[in-house]
Amino acid sequence: MADGSTERDARTNGALEHPRQGRWLAFRGAELLLTDTGTLPAGDALAALGCLPLRIQSLGIPPEAGAGTGLPCHAAELPADAEPPPGTAFTHLKRLNDHLPDGLRRLAARALELIEWDRAHQFCGACGAPTVQDGDAKVRRCTDPGCGREHYPRVSPVIIVAVERGDEILLGRSYHFAPGFYSTLAGFVDAGESAEEALHREIQEEVALRVRNLRYFASQPWPFPHSLMLGFHADYDGGNVVCAEDEIEHAAFFHIDALPASLPGPSTIAHWLLRDFCRRRGRAWPPA
Report the number of secondary-structure helices (H) and strands (E) in the chain.
6, 16
Gap between the Cα atoms of 103 and 101, Å rounded: 6
3-class secondary-structure state, position 197: helix
pLDDT at 9: 33
Gap between the Cα atoms of 212 and 93, Å rounded: 35
Cis ω for the linkage preceding 225 (within 30 of 0): yes
Tell me the DSSP string of 93-110.
HHHHTTTS-HHHHHHHHH
Tens digits of pLDDT across the chain (288 residues): 233 333 333 343 444 444 557 889 999 999 999 999 888 888 777 777 777 889 999 888 876 555 455 678 889 999 999 999 888 999 999 999 888 888 889 999 999 999 999 999 999 999 999 999 988 899 999 999 999 999 999 999 999 999 999 999 999 999 999 999 999 999 999 999 999 999 999 999 999 999 999 999 999 999 988 899 999 999 999 999 999 999 999 999 999 999 999 999 999 999 999 999 999 999 887 765
Gap between the Cα atoms of 266 and 284, Å rounded: 14
* Domains parsed from the chain with CATH numbers: 4-120 (3.90.79), 156-279 (3.90.79.10)
Which helix (H) or strand (E) element contains residue 167? none
Tell me which residue of 73, 79, 138, 78 sits closest to 104, measured CA to CA: 73
Gap between the Cα atoms of 230 and 233, Å rounded: 10
- Whether the full predicted model's pTM is greater than 0.75, yes or no, is yes
Q: What is the DSSP letter of 181?
A: B
> Could you tell me if 265 and 258 are in contact, meaning their C-beta atoms sit under 8 angstroms apart?
no
Tell me the DSSP string of 25-39.
EEEETTEEEEETTS-
Gap between the Cα atoms of 200 and 61, Å rounded: 41
Gap between the Cα atoms of 199 and 158, Å rounded: 9
Please state, as a whole number, how many other Cβ atoms lie within 10 Å of the Cβ of residue 42.
18
Gap between the Cα atoms of 229 and 244, Å rounded: 22
Gap between the Cα atoms of 278 and 273, Å rounded: 9
> Could you tell me if 172 and 207 are in contact, meaning their C-beta atoms sit under 8 angstroms apart?
yes
Tell me which residue of 16, 160, 33, 139 sits closest to 84, measured CA to CA: 33
Write the single-letter amino acid at 102.
D
pLDDT at 6: 34
> Could you tell me if 252 and 171 are in contact, meaning their C-beta atoms sit under 8 angstroms apart?
yes
Write the single-letter amino acid at 163.
V
